[in-house]
Amino acid sequence: MSDASRDDHGADGASGAERGTATKIVHAGRDPRRFDGFVNTPVVRGSTVLYPNYDDLIHHRARYTYGRHGNPTSESLQVALTALEGGDGVVLTPSGLSAVTTALLAVAGSGDHVLVVDSVYRPTRNFCDGLFARLGVETTYYDPLIGAGIAALIRPNTKAIFLEAPGSQSFEMQDVPAIVAVAKARGITTLIDNTWATPVFFKPHAFGVDISIQSGTKYICGHADVSIGTISAVGDALRKVRVTYSALGMTVGPDDIALAARGLRTLAVRLAHHQKAALEMAEWLAARPEVSRVLHPALPSDPGHAIWKRDFCGASGLFSLILKPVPEAAVAAFFDALTLFGMGYSWGGYESLAIPFDCKDYRTATRWEVEGPAVRVHIGLEDTADLKADLDQAFARMREVAAG
Task: Quick: pLDDT tens for 322-346.
Answer: 999 999 999 999 999 999 999 999 9
Q: How many angstroms separate the CA atoms of 154 and 161, rounded?
A: 9
Q: How confident is the model at residue 11 (pLDDT cuts 50, 70, 90)?
A: very low
Q: How confident is the model at residue 16 (pLDDT cuts 50, 70, 90)?
A: very low
Is the per-residue pLDDT at 7 higher than 80? no
Provide mean pLDDT across the span 238-267: 96
Provide mean pLDDT across the span 353-362: 96
Q: Which residue has the higher pLDDT, 31 or 371?
A: 371
Q: Which helix (H) or strand (E) holds 152?
A: none
Q: Which of 7, 88, 118, 121 is flagged as catalytic?
A: 121
pTM of structure:
0.92
Give the pLDDT confidence score for residue 37 in this predicted structure: 84
Q: What percent of the chain is predicted at pLDDT more than 70?
A: 96
Is the per-residue pLDDT at 10 higher than 70? no
Q: Which of 112, 193, 210, 302 is flagged as catalytic?
A: 193
Edge to edge, the sheet with strand 189-193 lists 89-93, 229-233, 211-215, 189-193, 158-164, 113-117, 138-142
Give the pLDDT confidence score for residue 6 in this predicted structure: 37
Contact between 50 and 33 (Cβ < 8 Å):
no
Give the pLDDT confidence score for residue 17 in this predicted structure: 66
Q: Is 193 a catalytic residue?
A: yes
Q: How many angstroms separate the CA atoms of 280 and 350, rounded?
A: 17
Q: Which of 6, 19, 34, 68 is flagged as catalytic?
A: 68
Q: Is 360 a catalytic residue?
A: no
Give the pLDDT confidence score for residue 2 in this predicted structure: 41
Q: Which residue has the higher pLDDT, 32 or 17?
A: 32
Q: Is 310 a catalytic residue?
A: no
Task: Give the residue from 45, 49, 14 showing the smallest Cα distance to 31.
Answer: 14
Give the pLDDT confidence score for residue 34 in this predicted structure: 87
Q: Is 218 a catalytic residue?
A: yes
Give the pLDDT confidence score for residue 207 in this predicted structure: 98
Q: How many angstroms separate the CA atoms of 260 and 226, rounded?
A: 7
Is the per-residue pLDDT at 138 higher than 50? yes
Q: Which of 203, 218, 240, 242 is flagged as catalytic?
A: 218
Mean pLDDT, the chain, integer = 94
Handedness of CA 363, 365, 370, 374 (dihedral sign): negative
* Burial status of residue 33 (CB atoms within 10 A of its CB: 0-12, 13-18, 19 or more): exposed
Is the per-residue pLDDT at 41 higher than 70? yes
Q: Which of 20-34, 212-226, 363-377 has the lowest mean pLDDT?
A: 20-34
Q: How many angstroms separate the CA atoms of 325 and 302, rounded?
A: 20
**By 3-state DSSP, what share of the chain in percent is helix, strand and coil, each rounded to 5?**
45, 15, 45
Provide mean pLDDT across the span 13-34: 77
Per-residue pLDDT of 288-313, as tens digits, reads 999 999 999 999 999 999 999 999 99
Provide mean pLDDT across the span 53-77: 92
Is the per-residue pLDDT at 13 higher than 60? no
Q: What percent of the chain is predicted at pLDDT more than 90?
A: 87
Is the per-residue pLDDT at 395 higher than 90? yes
